[in-house]
Amino acid sequence: MEASIAEIAQRAGIGKGTVFRHFATKECLAAAIVSDRLDELAAIGRTLLDATDPGAALLEFMTAGVELQARDRAFCQAATTSVRRDPAVRAASDRLSQAAESLTEQARRQGAVRDDITGQDVILLLGAACQAAAPLGDTAADLWRRYLYLIFDGMRPEGAHPLPRPAPARARFDQAVDPSGPDQEPSAERC
Amino acid sequence: MEASIAEIAQRAGIGKGTVFRHFATKECLAAAIVSDRLDELAAIGRTLLDATDPGAALLEFMTAGVELQARDRAFCQAATTSVRRDPAVRAASDRLSQAAESLTEQARRQGAVRDDITGQDVILLLGAACQAAAPLGDTAADLWRRYLYLIFDGMRPEGAHPLPRPAPARARFDQAVDPSGPDQEPSAERC
DNA sequence: ACCTGAACACCGTTCAAGT
DNA sequence: ACCTGAACACCGTTCAAGT
C-alpha cells in the first residue's frame, strides 16, 4: 500500500486509468496479490502431503508460510487489513485451509500434534508467529523461527492443557452449513 | 487511522490547525494513543507482581494485554505500522517490557514457564495471540483465548524443545550496550 | 473496444491573518 | 501567544476524448 497508483501505473508502463480497468479499486489490486500468495502456500502444502514424517512436514509447511510472509512486510501488513474481507482472498484462504487440514490430520494421526488442533488453527498460528517477530523489524531477521518453534511446542501433545474455546468453524467443504446462519464478517464487493 | 483529522478536530471542538499544534503529524497522534495504552498495561503488570501464584499472574497479565488490544481493533492494527518506530512508543514499550520481565522472572523461578523465556518474549507472544485471532474478526469474539492458552502451553517447561534463536536483546537497563552498535530500526522523528 | 491523462474529491499539512 | 480555516500538495477514482 506504500506505492501510489501513479507509480504502479508508470512502472507497468500504462496509464493510471488502465489500472482501474483491471482492478476496480486499489484494495482489489492488493487482494489479488494476497490471494496469489495464499495459493502459492497451498501448493507447497499439497506437495508436503507426500512427505514421510507428517509432523516434520507440518512444521516445514508453517516455516514456508512464515518465510513467504516475512519476505516482504507489505504482504504481512496487508493480511491485517480489510483485504481479508475480499471474496477472492476468502476463497484462496479456504483453499489454503483445506491443504492445511490434510497436513494437520496426518500429523494428528501420528500423534505429532494434539488432536484438538485444526488446519485453520495452523494457518492462524503461522500468521501469529510472523506477527510476533514483526515489531522488531529487520533488527532480528529470523526471530520468527523462535516463536514458530515455541508455538509448535504448544501444538504438541506432551504437556498439553485444555483450550478455553473450540476451533473456529469456517467454510469447510465437508461440513454442513452452520444453522445459526452466516455470522461471518460482511463480504467486501466483488473485484 | 480511519478518522480524518477534520473529523477529529470537529469532535474535539477545535480547528484542524490546532491539532497540528499538539501533534506534529497524524502518526504522532496515533503514537501518543498507543503509548498510553502500553503504559496502562505496564501498570497492570506491576500490580500483578504481588499476586501469590506467579504463573497464574503471568497468564493474567497476558490476558489483560490481549483484552486491551482486542477491545478496539484500531489499536491492534496501529501496533503493526510504523508507529512502532516512534520514540515515545519505544520508550513505553521498554517500560512495558521491564514490567513483563519482572513477572516472567517470578514465574520462571517457580518453574511455571521454561527458563529461556524473557519478558520481551511475553510481550511479543501476547501480541501474537491477538493477531492470530484477528483474521476472523468479530465472528469469533474471544478466539484469542484459544491461541493465548496454546501459546502459553508452549511457554511451559513440560515437553519444551530447544528454540532455534536466542531471545531478542532490546534495550534493557541491566544490560551492557551491544558492542556491535545499535542495529535497531531507524527511529522516527521526535513528536 | 481499449487506453489515456485531465479533472474531481478527499485528506494531511502549512501558514498568513485574526484574536 | 494562541487559534483558525483558506490554500496547497498529494493521491485514489472517474470519465470524456482520443486511438
pLDDT in tens, B100-148: 999 999 999 999 999 999 999 999 999 999 989 888 877 778 899 999 9
Q: Which range (A126-140, A162-176, B172-186) has the least confidence?
A: B172-186
The predicted structure's pLDDT at residue B148: 98
A14 Cβ contacts chain C strand, under 7 Å: yes
Q: What residues contact residue A47 under an 8 Å CB cut-off, 6+ apart?
A: none
User: Could A128 and B129 be called an inter-chain contact, meaning their C-beta atoms sit closer than 8 Å?
Assistant: yes
Residue with cell string 510504523: B82
pLDDT band at A180 (very low <50, low <70, confident <90, very high): very low
Whole-angstrom Cα distance, residue A25 to residue A20?
6
Q: Which range (A114-118, A186-190, B19-23, B83-87) has the least confidence?
A: A186-190
| pLDDT of A145 strictly over 70 | yes
- Residue B15 sits at the vertex; the CA angle it makes with B14 and B16, to the nearest 5 degrees, is 120
φ/ψ bin of B13: left (φ > 0), alpha (ψ from -120 to 50), beta (otherwise): left
| pLDDT of B10 strictly over 60 | yes
Q: What's the Å distance between residue A26 CA and nucleotide D16 C1'? A: 23
Whole-angstrom Cα distance, residue A147 to residue A143?
7
Give the H or E element holding residue B28: helix B26-48
Q: Which residue is nearest to nucleotide C2 (CA to C1')?
A: A18
Q: Are A57 and A107 in contact (CB under 8 A)?
A: yes
From the alpha carbon of A3, which nucleotide's C1' atom is closest? D11
B26-42+54-157+170-175 maps to CATH 1.10.3860: no
Give the H or E element holding residue B77: helix B73-78
Q: Are B80 and B34 in contact (CB under 8 A)?
A: no
Q: What's the residue count for chain A?
A: 191
Rounded to 10 deg, the angle between the B87-109 and B54-71 helix axes is 150
Nearest to A113 by CA among A81, A160, A169, A71: A160
The predicted structure's pLDDT at residue B177: 40
Domain boundaries, chain B: 26-42+54-157+170-175
Nearest to B122 by CA among B146, B100, B90: B100
Handedness of CA A78, A79, A83, A89 (dihedral sign): positive
Compute the mean pLDDT over every residue in chain A, rounded to the nearest whole number. Answer: 87
What dihedral angle (degrees, nearest 10) is formed by the CA atoms of B63, B69, B71, B74? -170
pLDDT in tens, B19-71: 999 999 999 999 999 999 999 999 999 999 999 999 999 999 999 999 998 87
- Give the burial string for B5-14 (b: 16+ CB within 10 Å, else e): eeeebeeeee
pLDDT band at A179 (very low <50, low <70, confident <90, very high): very low
Q: Is B38 on the interface with A (CB under 8 A)?
A: no
